[in-house]
Amino acid sequence: MSSVVGALFFTVLMIAGFSVLSLALDAQTDIVTTQRMVSDIEIKKQQEEFGVLVSTDANDILNVSINNQGQNPVEITSIWITNKTLSDQPTTRYSINFDDAFIPPGFVSNVVSTQTLAMTPDKYDIKIISSYGSIKKVELDSAGGGSNGLRAEMLTDPPDPVIGKNVTTAMIVTNTGDLPIYNVSPNPLSTSTTGSGTIITSSPTPSGVGTLTGGASVMFTWDSQVTGSSGDILSFSSYAIGDSVANSNTASDTSLLRLAGEGGGSPDPDIINDDLLARPQLFFIIPSAQGESGDAEAVWGINVVNPINAPMEVSKLIMTAFAPGANANNVIFDRGGNTCTFNPISPVLGPDSNWSCPSENALMWQDPSNPIIIPANSSRSFLTKVEPGKPTGNTGLESILVQGSVFTTLGSFGKSGYQSTMSADPTSIANVYLSSVSDSRTSGNIQSSRDAIVPNTVQTFNIVLADMDSSDTTTINSGAKLIINVPKEWTEVTVTSSPGFTAPTITKFGDNSHQIVGVTNAALGSSTNVSDTITFTARAPTITEDELYVMYVLAQGVTSNGFSIGPLSEIVLKVDG
């Protein structure tokens, strides 16, 4: 009996011992598991690598972009935002929605994309906290515009430029974050002046950079030519743009315009006073190219402007055209060899007999007995259609120098610096002009000026690119450009119709002028399509005294036989004050 009791007692002791051992082993296992979990979390936290880019959009809505650069997914649990502008610097915590919280390795994600956080324009500290306890802190200056990624500063050199000289504007853009920002480029430079001068600005150099790494900087520069009066203040501003990031802050700087010699030293005196107001001004209408298409006529002409407040009489004007080189037998105006064939456009200029070709290379209008009277501060158009001549031999004339002369009661004056071209083979005759009717080549509709424009009224203009010859086989290839330069004082430039052109573009330049460019989408010159027109509207300046403005119209392209075109029309617009 006693032996049985002893055995039972020993068994109980053994079971109790094993239970204690089991509990000890379980406790040790829990400790090891916990240590492994802590170690795993710590390792993952150490492996966690992500960058932050914080920005606001145009509506001041917050964007917090996380770039996961590690090998494990990143979970963002919350962000803390501290307003550094307010005196008590309040801090607010925002939880991250589940759909936004996880960022896979190698991805960039906005972790507040499903919630709208509107930011009052101020300075903030923003802390981003991951599920492993990683903390990133960035600063956001939404008051200055931009993000924690791009910062811009601007300076001008020299700070006090001379009138008529260049000033260089430099914008230094720095990536203040720890992530690379791609495709960084400057916004066009904005300029203004307190005076009536102009600032004409070049394109930026460089135009952009592919990658701007964290902490790196790039400098963009513009060259501007300035005019105005001494003491005018010139203002420059711009900002930088990058992929997946809001714009940088807007950087700006100012310069003081001065005369040469101001601020030290004395300029050489100008001892010649040679201004002569009482002289006529000449503006041309020139075809280019001219071809050997029979029974076709090109439009030539001169706008004569009277710039003074007294009448001026014009008794004769001459357009002379000649090709440089040893061969002087090229014929520019007289194909038949005896007399010019004329079709005067404006009936005010009198009968055909008023036009003649005193030589094969001169085109003259003359009426001494009945001179044309141009009223004060006005202009008159002297236009005609004349059959082209032809080059000597089989070589085209790639450059024909053109100059004009006018005989008036204010004296005889001339103007040069113009050119035309002529093909040795049958080819198109290209002209550009203002027309009272769209797509018209009729003489009575062709214009080179417009008078009696009421200030601050919207004017409609039909600008025509035409092939003036009568042949179906000579055309201007598709892809030709019609270029219209609207004077800077004219505003609200709008294209209203442009059949035959791809959608024309309108570019506003730094001097506030506009340029319209249309590209033809079909060949021009067949019997079914001899001309294409861009119709646009523009508002005339608001003025109190008569002003004349010049609209420059040009074209660029190639004829079907490979000859370049380049016609010109300098259209005079008179606004009555």
The whole-number pLDDT of residue 37 equals: 65
AA identity, residue 264 = G
- Containing 98, the helix (H) or strand (E) segment is helix 98-101
User: Please, what's the b/e burial string for 266-282 (b: 16 or more CB within 10 A of its CB; e: otherwise)?
Assistant: eeeeeeeeeeeeebbbb
> Tens digits of per-residue pLDDT, 177-224?
767 788 888 989 888 888 777 888 888 888 888 888 777 788 888 888
Q: Provide the 8-state DSSP code for 328.
A: -
Which of helix, strand or coil describes residue 24?
Answer: helix
Neighbours of 302 (CB within 10 A): 27
- Which residues, 6 or more positions from 534, have their beta carbon under 8 angstroms from its beta carbon? 462, 463, 482, 484, 495, 497, 498, 501, 504, 516, 518
Cβ pair 550, 283 in contact under 8 A: yes
Whole-prediction pTM: 0.55
pLDDT of residue 86: 82
In this predicted structure, the answer to whether residue 245 has a pLDDT above a threshold of 80 is no
Place of tokens 């027109």: 533
The secondary structure of 519-572 as a DSSP string is EBSS-B-BTTBSEEEEEEEEEPP--SS-EEEEEEEEEEEEBTTS-EE--EEEEE
Question: Where residue 370 falls among pLDDT bands split at 50, 70, 90?
Answer: confident
Based on the number of CB atoms within 10 Å of its own CB, is 189 exposed (0-12), middle (13-18) or buried (19 or more)?
buried
Are 82 and 123 contacting, i.e. CB atoms less than 8 angstroms apart?
no
Residue ranges of domains in the chain, CATH in brackets: 50-141 (2.60.40.10), 150-256 (2.60.40.10), 281-575 (no CATH)
Q: Which of 243, 233, 207 is nearest to 222 (CA)?
A: 207
AA letter at 249: N
Among 19-28, 215-224, 556-565, the least confident range: 19-28
Q: Rounded mean pLDDT of 56-72?
A: 80
Answer whether 523's CB lies under 8 Å from 476's CB.
yes
Q: In this structure, are strands 568-575 and 449-453 parallel, antiparallel, or unpaired?
A: parallel
Which candidate, 405, 148, 214, places its Cα nearest to that of 302? 405
pLDDT for position 193: 86
Other Cβ atoms within 10 Å of 25 Cβ, number = 10
Q: What is the pLDDT of residues 327-357, one digit of tens each?
A: 556 778 764 444 454 444 443 333 456 777 7
The CA-CA-CA angle for residues 245, 249, 252, to 5°, reads 145
Across 177-242, the runs of DSSP E, i.e. the strands, are 181-186, 190-193, 199-201, 209-212, 217-226, 233-238, 240-241
Per-residue pLDDT reduced to its tens digit, 522-544: 999 887 888 999 999 999 999 88
Token pair belonging to 339: 């007399």
pLDDT at 537: 96
